[in-house]
Amino acid sequence: MDNVFIERLWRSVKWECISPRELETGSQAREALDDWFRLYNEQRPHTAFDGLRPMEVYRDAQRAPKAA
């Protein structure tokens, strides 16, 4: 179970970002990955977070008061 999140993430990267494109250089790959991870974290709602985006969850956690 430890690797489920990472395996699903990289499966999504492969199928949604890498495979549909004809990337010829490392620069093209870096730009495609930057764009995809920005979409994944900032624009795409996730069912694991009840429809929130990962960056919303992260920012909310940063704003929450810390327990002493």
Per-residue pLDDT, 3: 86
pLDDT at 14: 95
Contacts of 41 (CB under 8 A, 6+ apart): 53, 54, 55
Model-wide pTM > 0.85: no
Q: Are 16 and 36 in contact (CB under 8 A)?
A: yes
Boundaries of every domain in the chain: 22-68
Q: What is the Cβ-side half-sphere exposure of residue 24, based on CA atoms within 13 angstroms? A: 0
Residue-level pLDDT at 1: 65
pLDDT tens, the chain, 68 aa long = 678 888 988 999 999 999 999 999 999 999 999 999 999 999 999 888 899 999 999 999 999 887 66
